[in-house]
Each structure stands twice: as C-alpha cells, then as structure tokens.
C-alpha cells in the first residue's frame, strides 16, 4: 500500500490540537506541509469551530505516555 | 425482534445506588459493561459483578470499549495491551457482542484521550479492518463500532456511516447507533436527524445508546457535546420510534449516564425518570 502520510498526519494533528489554540493556525500548519498533501482537501474542509472543540477534547482528556 | 431496554452500568457506588431500584423492580432487561473500566480499577465491585454474572447467564450482557485504538495509526503496542486485558476479561464474562468507538485518540505523545474523526483513505480503512479482526479474535463474539459525535465538517458527518460500513463489512460486524451522538452531528451541522441516520448502515444496528450531553461555546457558536452528564433531550426520545423502525436487527437500547452526574437527588431522579421514559418509548408502556 502506498504511504499517504496517514500516520504522520494523525500525529501532527494531535500535536497541533494539544499545543495550538487557534484553529486557523492549525489548518495553516497542516496545509503548509507537503507531506500531508493527500489530506489537504480534508483539512480545507475542517470547520474552525469543530477544530476548537477537538482541541478542547484533546487538552481535557489527553494523557501523555 | 424483541428489543431489550437496559443500562450501561458502572461499578461506581453513586451509579449503583441510582440504578439499584431499577434492578430491584425488574425493569432492567439487559446491561452493557464498559470493559476497559479496568483502566480505573481492578474490576467490578461485588454488586456490579453479580449483575454481570446474572445478565451474562441470561444472554443479556453486551460489552463496550471506550479506549480501544481502532483507527490510531501509531501506537500498536496500546492495541496489544488492551487486547491482552480483554483476553482475561472474556474468560469471566459472557458477552453478546463488543463494540468500540470510531475514531482515534492516541498517537504523538498521548497514550489516552477522546476519540477524534479520521479521514477515510486506503490506510485508515485497512487499519480499522485489521484492528477489528484482532478484536474479534480475542473477544470471541460479534464486534461492532459506535458512531462518533464529532466531525470536522458536514461532509464528514454525512460520510461517517459509509466509512463505518466499510470497516464492518468483512466481519459482518454491527453498528452501535448512539442517538445522542447522531443528535450532536444533526444540530451542529443542521442536518435532519433521521436523514443523517439513513446515511448509516442501519441494517447493521444491534444496539442503540441513549444519553444526554451539554452545550459548549466556541467562536460564538453553540456546539452540542457528547458528555453523558445531563438529561436525555426530548429530540432524542422523539426520534427513537422512527429510527427503531429502520433498524430491523435492533436488540438492545441502553441508557448511558456517567456516575459523576449522579451526585444530587435531582440528578438521580432525572436519571430514573429518563430510564422509565425510555422503557415506555420502546415497550409502549
């Protein structure tokens, strides 16, 4: 199976949701990374208000290794 | 098919105190046990253990896992650890099936979290199918997936059902349709609840969850959240009969509420009232 960068995308998304409050900055960071080109359409569709909710969930329930 | 109405039970003393009269009155047809409560303790306390034994013997016990990393790409060791614990659990309990959450919560530096949406691609589909096969091999019973309350876009909300169907197809798994999660997606994206339900593989539904939640504000917008800490909305009760009619394999309808939301007498009475209302909606009185 071709590597679309899926694992790296998930990892980067979690990191950004944990560390970055601004949904626009999260989208911009993901769209600026060519490693995630396969997911850029998906990222463009992400609504800022839902990114904010996801960030709140990650920071509330996330536990480090 | 006869539909059993029951409770998603917890070993917590507050939960047992609130639910005990419902058991004593014979109003609980079936129960669901959250198997990975092992993360917060050594197992169910005596009273809850007795419920699990009795309902298991009566083919009325179904399992649910909150933390199984179904679609998490990186931490394969977490999946192995989880399945190792499940292998011990299934020696003690007789489940009619086990469901897990759609989504991913772990990766990067996090080993635990809340489930988030996953883009549908060849890798995520293969990952989820393999994880379900591994779950099935250990559980030894039917496996299912619960729909997620959160999506990043309306398009993702409307396509989650097809993704879940794709994951379930190889094993002919079942859908746990969480009506409050469906309600969250419905109100957050302005999609009619029944229309949204029809985008899911309703012929696969064996179980439904009914619960309450809360609202949160974000950028001036109200977002419905799946927090299991309040009364069941009228809209969820209202949608249930029509949705039930669309689910020919439905067997279990379970009320979910967190023990943390059963602190006051008003909360306990509300929980019991919601359960009675659920029985009346499903059983007709």
Substitution target in A17, A40, A49 with the highest count of B β-carbons within 10 Å is: A49
Q: What is the pLDDT of residues B133-181, one digit of tens each?
A: 999 999 999 999 999 999 999 999 999 999 999 999 999 999 999 999 9
- For residue B137, which phi and psi values (nearest 5 degrees)? -60, -35
The predicted pLDDT at position B170 comes to 98
* Cα A23 to Cα A13: distance, rounded to the nearest angstrom: 11
Substitution target in B107, B117, B219, B229 with the highest count of A β-carbons within 10 Å is: B107
Tokens of B38: 């092992």
Contact between B121 and A6 using a beta-carbon 8 Å cutoff = yes
The Cα of B122 is separated from the nearest Cα of chain A by a number of Å equal to 8
Nearest CA in chain A to B108: A11
The predicted pLDDT at position B221 comes to 75
Q: What is the pLDDT of residues A1-59, one digit of tens each?
A: 556 699 999 999 999 999 999 999 999 999 999 999 999 999 999 999 999 999 999 99
Contact between B151 and A50 using a beta-carbon 8 Å cutoff = yes
* Cα B52 to Cα B20: distance, rounded to the nearest angstrom: 14
Contact between B150 and A53 using a beta-carbon 8 Å cutoff = yes
What is the value of pTM for the model shown? 0.96
**Taking residues B37-61, what's their average pLDDT?**
86
Contact between A50 and B72 using a beta-carbon 8 Å cutoff = no
* Cα B139 to Cα B129: distance, rounded to the nearest angstrom: 15
Q: What is each CA distance from B142 to A37, B31, B204, B266, in whole angstroms?
A: 37, 16, 12, 38
**Nearest-CB residue to A47 (from B73, B109, B152):** B152
* Cα B222 to Cα B85: distance, rounded to the nearest angstrom: 39
| pLDDT at B38 > cutoff 80 | no
Give a three-class secondary structure readout of A1-65: CCCCCHHHHHHHHHHHHHHCCCHHHHHHHHHCCHHHHHHHHHHHCCCHHHHHHHHHHHHHHCEEC
The Cα of A28 is separated from the nearest Cα of chain B by a number of Å equal to 15
List of chain B residues whose C-beta atoms are within 8 Å of the C-beta of residue A62: 105, 110, 112-114
β-bridge mates for residue B223, sequence order = B216
Substitution target in A7, A8, A10, A63 with the highest count of B β-carbons within 10 Å is: A10
Q: What is the pLDDT of residues B180-209, one digit of tens each?
A: 999 999 999 999 999 999 999 999 999 999
The predicted pLDDT at position B1 comes to 75
Number of residues that make up chain A: 65
Cβ atoms B193, B182 nearer than 8 A? yes
Nearest CA in chain A to B110: A64
List of chain B residues whose C-beta atoms are within 8 Å of the C-beta of residue A39: 119, 121
The predicted pLDDT at position B76 comes to 78
Q: What is the pLDDT of residues B241-281, one digit of tens each?
A: 999 999 999 999 999 999 999 999 999 999 999 999 999 99
Substitution target in A21, A26, A47 with the highest count of B β-carbons within 10 Å is: A47
Contact between A52 and B74 using a beta-carbon 8 Å cutoff = no
Q: What is the pLDDT of residues B77-129, one digit of tens each?
A: 889 999 999 999 999 999 999 999 999 999 888 888 899 999 999 999 999 99
Neighbours of B228 (CB within 10 A): 18
Contact between B109 and A61 using a beta-carbon 8 Å cutoff = no
List of chain A residues whose C-beta atoms are within 8 Å of the C-beta of residue B113: 14, 57-58, 61-63
- Please state whether B241 falls in left (phi above 0), alpha (psi between -120 and 50) or beta: alpha
């Amino acid at each position: 199976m071709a590597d679309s960068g899926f694992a790296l995308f998930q990892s980067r998304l979690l990191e950004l949701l944990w560390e970055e409050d601004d949904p626009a900055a999260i989208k911009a960071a993901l769209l600026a990374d060519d490693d995630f080109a396969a997911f850029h359409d998906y990222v463009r569709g992400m609504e800022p208000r839902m990114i904010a909710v996801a960030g709140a969930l990650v920071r509330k329930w996330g536990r480090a290794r | 098919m006869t539909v059993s109405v029951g409770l998603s039970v917890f070993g917590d003393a507050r939960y047992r105190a609130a639910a005990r009269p419902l058991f004593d009155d014979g109003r609980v047809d079936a129960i669901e046990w959250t198997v990975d409560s092992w993360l917060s303790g050594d197992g169910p306390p005596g009273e809850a253990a007795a419920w699990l034994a009795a309902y298991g013997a009566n083919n009325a016990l179904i399992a649910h896992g909150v933390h199984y990393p179904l679609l998490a790409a990186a931490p394969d060791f977490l999946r192995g650890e989880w399945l190792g614990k499940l292998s011990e659990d299934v020696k003690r309990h007789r489940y009619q099936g086990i469901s897990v959450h759609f989504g991913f919560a772990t990766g990067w530096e996090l080993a635990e979290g809340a489930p988030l949406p996953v883009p549908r691609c060849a890798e995520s589909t293969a990952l989820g199918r393999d994880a379900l096969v591994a779950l099935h091999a250990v559980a030894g019973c039917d496996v299912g997936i619960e729909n997620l309350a959160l999506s990043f876009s309306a398009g993702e909300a409307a396509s989650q059902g097809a993704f879940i169907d794709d994951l379930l197809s190889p094993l002919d798994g079942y859908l746990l349709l969480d009506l409050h999660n469906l309600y969250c997606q419905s109100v957050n994206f302005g999609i009619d609840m029944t229309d949204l339900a029809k985008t899911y593989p309703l012929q696969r539904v064996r179980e439904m969850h009914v619960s309450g939640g809360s609202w949160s504000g974000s950028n001036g917008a109200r977002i419905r959240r799946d927090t299991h800490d309040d009364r069941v909305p009228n809209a969820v009760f209202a949608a249930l009969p029509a949705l039930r009619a669309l689910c020919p394999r439905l067997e279990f309808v379970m009320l979910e509420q967190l023990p943390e939301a059963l602190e006051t007498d008003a909360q306990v009475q509300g929980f019991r009232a919601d359960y009675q209302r659920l029985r009346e909606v499903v059983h007709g009185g």
